[in-house]
Each structure stands twice: as C-alpha cells, then as structure tokens.
C-alpha cells in the first residue's frame, strides 16, 4: 500500500509539474508576442524615424540580421512561436514575426506577420506593412493585410498593430485573418 501511495503522489507531482511548465510556456510565448507587437507599435509612433540602434535597444539579442547590408539597406527580424505547445499537440503552430528594413541606419519599413497553420496544413496569414514616410502608404485594408504610414491617424495605426496573441493558445487555431488581426475584418 505504501508503494502505491508513493507512486500516486509521484504521478500527481509529475502531472502538476508538467501542467505548470506548459502554463508558464504559454504565458511566456504570449508575453513575448505582446512585447514584439507593442515595441513595433511604439517604434512606429515615436516622433522621429527610429534608428537601427533604437530597434536593437528594444529587442536585444532576439533581433537577428537576415540579410547583409548593401547600399539599398538590410533586414532584421524578431520572431516568436508556440513550437513547444505544437509538439505536444496542445495548440496549432503559430508564429509572429516583426521584420525591419533599415537603410543608412534608419528604419524605412516594419512588416509584422502573424500566421497559423490550420487542419490539413492550410496557413492563415495576416500582416501589417508600416512605412516610415508621409503619404507613401496610406491606411488601407486589403484581404489579409493592413497598410499604414506616418501620416495615418493614431486610431488607424493602433488598429494596424492590434494583433490577437490569444491565437497562440488556441487548440483549434484562429480560423481567419480577421481573428489574427481584427483590423482586417470587413463589416
């Protein structure tokens, strides 16, 4: 009887530890995704064009250079995914990526992509294309994307960065671009 009782306590402890690890992992993933979106939005909203140093300061070692710098610029990105939850079949694979195009040390553009894989391998994507310029990329919604520039109204800029990070924890996954980025919803 003592062996059975100890075994039961051990099983309960393992289950609780596993559940705790999963909850912490989910919380950390969503927190990281929210931080990426918030930082991208704040960089876009600041009064001047951000520098590469501003981006590096926000994202630290998580920021990866994805192309070598040439005369026409270079690319950097930061990414978060729910890979652990996906491997355990607790959520559909979901990724949030914020890419920055830098030219002469200043940001030209920030594209935030949010996608998930549905049943049968279908991918659902929503993204925001934010350009650091006046009048070059006016606010518009098209299919699965939102475009915004420095002249766009504050409410439009806020909507463009309004990603639904709860999609990271959804077992059924978000089923449409509008669930990933509510601004793309068509009334």
Taking only the tens of pLDDT, the chain with its 187 residues reads 587 888 888 888 888 887 787 778 778 888 999 999 999 999 999 878 999 999 999 999 999 999 888 888 999 999 999 988 888 887 888 999 999 999 999 999 999 999 998 878 889 999 999 999 888 888 999 889 999 999 999 999 999 999 999 888 776 668 889 999 998 875 3
Cβ(134)–Cβ(149) below 8 Å: yes
Q: Measure the N-to-C terminal CA separation of the chain; round to a whole number of Å.
A: 64
- 137 phi and psi, to 5 degrees? -150, 65
Q: Is 33 helix (H, G, I), strand (E, B) or coil?
A: helix
Counting the structural domains of the chain, the total is: 1
Residues 6+ apart with CB under 8 A from 115: 94, 95, 123, 124, 125, 126, 180
How buried is residue 39: exposed, middle or buried, by Cβ count under 10 Å (0-12/13-18/19+)?
middle
β 140-142/74-81 pair status? unpaired
- 83 phi and psi, to 5 degrees? -55, -45
**Secondary structure element (H or E) that encloses residue 95, with its range:** strand 94-103
Beta bridge partners, 145, equal: 127, 142
Residues 6+ apart with CB under 8 A from 178: 126, 184, 185, 186
Q: At 56, list the tokens.
A: 């590096």
The pTM for the full model equals 0.86
Cβ(46)–Cβ(57) below 8 Å: no
Report which DSSP code applies to 136: S
Q: Domain limits at 105?
A: 2-184
**Distance of alpha carbon 56 from alpha carbon 73, whole angstroms:** 16
Q: At 33, list the tokens.
A: 């995704």
């Amino acid at each position: 009887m003592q062996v059975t009782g100890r075994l039961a306590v051990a099983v309960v402890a393992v289950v609780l530890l596993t559940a705790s690890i999963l909850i912490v992992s989910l919380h950390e993933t969503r927190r990281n995704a929210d931080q990426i979106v918030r930082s991208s939005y704040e960089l876009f909203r600041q009064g001047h064009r951000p520098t590469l140093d501003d981006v590096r300061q926000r994202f630290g070692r998580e920021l990866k250079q994805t192309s070598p710098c040439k005369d026409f610029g270079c690319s950097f990105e930061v990414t978060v995914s729910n890979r652990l939850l996906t491997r355990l079949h607790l959520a559909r694979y979901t990724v949030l990526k914020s890419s920055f195009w830098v030219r002469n040390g200043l940001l030209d553009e920030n594209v935030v992509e949010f996608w998930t894989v549905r049943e049968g391998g279908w991918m659902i994507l929503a993204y925001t294309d934010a350009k650091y310029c006046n009048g070059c990329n006016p606010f518009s919604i098209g299919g699965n994307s939102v475009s915004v520039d420095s002249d766009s109204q504050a409410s439009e800029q806020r909507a463009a960065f309004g990603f639904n990070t709860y999609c990271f924890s959804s077992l059924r996954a978000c089923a449409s671009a509008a669930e990933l980025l509510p601004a793309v919803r068509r009334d």
